Amino acid sequence: MSAPKEEVLIRHARREDIPTILQLIQELADYEKEPNAVEATPELLAETIAFAPSPSPSSSSTTSPAADETISSTRPARCLLLFTPSGSAAGMALYFYNYSTWKARPGIYLEDLFVREIYRGKGYGQRLIQELAREVVDMKGGRLEWCVLKWNTPSIGFYESERIGARALSEWQTMRVDGEGLRTLAERRG
């Protein structure tokens, strides 16, 4: 007989979760060996994440994106948080919506999945990804995708396992323009 599954809470982040999100982002940066790369601030997170409404004493809590702040070009991100049965924030899935031209369907791009080290191995990462998969299916979307660092073999193994079933897209190369290069490109004429 297997042990009963722990009851965890997965919900969309609210404005009052900003300090928790920022701490999880910093822990992710530390894990990815980039502790000084985080430029996020509470103010920037408040301006760029579409938060779920905070529950009022007279209403029930909702996780439905329809009741949340509107997604826009300046507020493109959403964040799922996973809390342990004792109420500790164990992980997050920060994501945004994308679109497949070939499928003519929306999808989700998972920007960051992070589970705190002390909570790994409990199925929390899988629960967060499953919640995103449900959202894609519910919106009749075409795909859920993300990138993973090539050196992060534990995560790659997890993603490719039967629990998740992802496959690596080796024929694609990630491209990026940022920083001064982005400003130069934007100002270029012709």
Residues forming the active site: 159
- Whether 158 and 123 have beta carbons less than 8 Å apart is answered as no
Task: Please state the length of the chain.
Answer: 190
Structure tokens at 174: 């990630």
Q: Which of 22, 14, 24 is nearest to 52 (CA)?
A: 14
Q: Are strands 77-83 and 143-146 parallel, antiparallel or unpaired?
A: unpaired
Cβ-based burial of 62 (10 A; exposed 0-12, middle 13-18, buried ≥19): middle
> Which amino acid is residue 86, in one-letter code?
S
